[in-house]
Every structure is written in structure tokens, then in C-alpha cells.
Amino acid sequence: MIPVLTDGEVTLRAHRLSDVDEMVVQCTDPLSIAGTGLPLAYTPEDAVRYATETVPNGWQNRSEWGFAVEARGFAGSVSLRLHGDGIADIAYGLHPAARGRGVCARAVKLLLDWGFEQPEIDLVTWHAYVGNWASRRVAWANGFRIDTTIEKFHSQRGVRVDCWVGSLRADDTREPKTPWHVPPVLENDRLRLRPMRDTDADRLGEMHTDERTLNFIGRYRAAAQTDGATKIRQIRDQNAAGQRWSWCMADRETDQLIGHIQLHSLEGLDPTTAELGYVVHPDARGRGVLTAALDLVARWAFRPVADGGLGRRRLVLNTAGSNAASRYAAEKAGFTHIATEPAAFPVGESDFEDAVTYHQLNPRWEPSVPQR
């Protein structure tokens, strides 16, 4: 007998034949196709087979505990796939009409609460194709640690694909283990700072393979020469892991990428400080966009958390002594040169020159105000 689990808003129950039409809608939806290994031509016969054979057989032989999700009608499916030794994988998928309402996160919580009460389970693992941010967000919200990325871990319709892997133990807390940073849109009369989009990939790739960029990117030269799409995935991954706040610097009128700016080193020995990093596209240099971007980020980072800011006391940036454009922009944005470290900044492929450090202090910072 398949149990019924509910929190009053979302219910997990057995699949019914009356679900078949909506199961087909879910399984032929483009996002479902992109995020799963389901056959491209999913049919009503496939849905009937899943509801009347696959799910009941999984319960009978205790290999997979599958549920339909109900929330104002059929909303998807969730299951725990048992592997023995106390380990199970979690799988979930949502009907397109149920997305964006928190249904999947609540369904997964119901399943985990019940699953960890079963003697067969003390560790649940989660896998998703790299780029399936909706699945990752649900796992993150339920306390999964995102442990690693494994190249070519799963086969999707005959093609090996990279996967994220996460885990949750029975005695773990169910709160997110790290922040998930969603950079706010910051604007002035000429510039917009916004999250990166897939359409920024070509311009981002051009920027990071420019010779001037490569000269001043030093030790990160090899990593910088990846394609733009890969870099966007890296940026999103760092934001989702709470490691950085990264923005696309975009022209206010055209919304075209003209640079990349980020806050990093957020949780060091001094959690009231953050560091800035930035790159400007070659065709946007000399127009004052870096000064404008530094000013926007500093104002937001210094704003109290209660007012939607980051509540930081101090911002720091480092650059090469010979990078006159970077130094000029920093000074115009209110940063002060505080240190020079001889022969400490890598330039080109193997050279070093003086590293210069700038900082800006928050004049309204209060020690008693909590940090984000």
C-alpha cells in the first residue's frame, strides 16, 4: 500500500490512470526533456506503464518508492531509489503548470521526512545534469550539500553528460548549507549591472581572450581562456554556492555586455570585508564604465542589510602597478591607494610587477548591524 503524505498544501499519493494525460504533458515539456533522460516521444502508453507497472513493481520489490505529487491537480512525480547499505537516490520532476510555486521543494521535503523514518535509508544522494538550476535550487532548499561535479556521469539518450552530485544524511539539518546569491539589478543613467544571461556568452568569451585582459589576469590566464558559455556556468555556480556576487556590466540602452564585475573573498578572516574583481570589454574601454560599476557595487555593498544591501565595512581591490586604467577608475570611484607590494602581481605568462592595493571604507558602518 502506497502511503499518502501531505502538509496541507502538497500531497504525495499513488499514481492514478486519471493522471496519464497530465503525465504526458509533463514528460513532453521542453524543460523536462532537457533535464531528464526520458524518451523524446513519450506517449500515453508510456505513462500508463509507469503508473500501473513501474511504480507498483518498485514498491513490491523495494527498489523504488514512487509518488505522484498533487497540488491543485496532478503536479509531478517524486521517488526514492534504494541501492542498499542505507543509500537512496532522490528523483523529482514537476508539471509545467505547477512550477514557480514552491511545490517541488515541499514535495521533496515530504518525501525526505518520510524516507528518513524508514530503516533502509540514512543517506540520500541527488544528481542533476549540469545546468539544471531548478533541480539544484530544490536540493539546496532542502539542505543538500552540493558535493562535486562529475564529468560525463550520466547518459542522456546516448550522450554522456556532466552532473552535479549532492548528499543529505538523516541527521543533517534541512536548511540550506550556504547562501544562494542572486545579484540584484543595479543601475545608473548609463549602466546596468545584472545577472549573466546565456546570450552574453559570445561577448564574455571575446573579453576574456583579449590580449590586454590576458596580460593583467596573470595566474588565471589559462582558466580565463575558456569559452563564454563555460564561464557563465562557472559564474552561476559561484553565485549559487554563495562564494561570489557576480554581475554583467551592461549598456543601459542596448543591454549589451560591456564587462564583468564581482565581489569575492566574502568569508575570510575579516567577514566585514569583500574584494572586487572586474574586466571590461575592449570596445567599452575609455568610457568611464568601470568607475560607474565600482561606484554602483560599493554603494550597494555598503548599504545596510535591512535596506537590501550587503552591510560591508570595507571593500578592497588589487591590480598591477602599470594598469593605469584600473587605478584611475578605482581612484575616481573613491578608492584610496593603501599599499604597494613589490614584484607580487603576475602579468603576462610568466612576469611579475608591483601589486597595488586600494580600499574604500563604509563611513556609516555599524558593528552591531548583522552581515548578510
* 169, 203, 225 - which closes a domain: 169
Considering the domain boundaries, does residue 257 fall inside one? yes
pLDDT tops 70 at residue 371? no
Q: In what order do the strands lie in the sheet with 273-280?
A: 186-187, 191-194, 245-251, 257-264, 273-280, 314-320, 351-361, 336-347
Considering the domain boundaries, does residue 341 fall inside one? yes
Element (H, E) at 93: strand 87-94
Residues 24 and 153 in one domain: yes
Distance between first and last Cα of the chain: 46
Specify the pTM.
Answer: 0.89
Query: Are 113 and 149 contacting, i.e. CB atoms less than 8 angstroms apart?
Result: no
Residues 18 and 160 in one domain: yes
Residues 113 and 34 in one domain: yes
pLDDT tops 60 at residue 219? no
pLDDT of residue 113: 98
Structural domain tally of the chain? Answer: 2
Percent of the chain with pLDDT over 90: 89
d(CA 294, CA 274): 13
* Residue among 278, 268, 154, 126 nearest 208 (CA): 278
Residues 233 and 335 in one domain: yes
Domain of 258, in residue numbers: 186-361
Considering the domain boundaries, does residue 269 fall inside one? yes
Residues 204 and 290 in one domain: yes
* 140, 169, 198 - which closes a domain: 169
pLDDT of residue 372: 54
Residues 193 and 74 in one domain: no
Residues 149 and 214 in one domain: no
Mean pLDDT across 110-139:
97
Residues 29 and 110 in one domain: yes
Confidence of residue 348 (pLDDT cuts 50, 70, 90): confident
* 119, 140, 169 - which closes a domain: 169
pLDDT tens digits, residue range 173-203? 999 999 999 999 999 999 999 999 999 999 9
Residues 148 and 48 in one domain: yes
Measured CA to CA in angstroms, residue 37 lies from 12, 186, 234 at distances of: 23, 39, 24
Mean pLDDT across 195-219:
88
DSSP alpha helix (H) spans, the chain: 20-27, 30-35, 44-49, 55-60, 103-115, 133-141, 201-208, 211-217, 221-224, 228-240, 289-302, 324-332
Rounded to an integer, what is the distance from CA 308 to the centroid of its chain?
20
pLDDT tens digits, residue range 62-96? 999 999 999 999 999 999 999 999 999 999 999 99
Instruction: Output the domain CATH number for residue 15.
Output: 3.40.630.30
pLDDT tens digits, residue range 303-329? 999 999 999 999 999 999 999 999 999
Residues 277 and 249 in one domain: yes
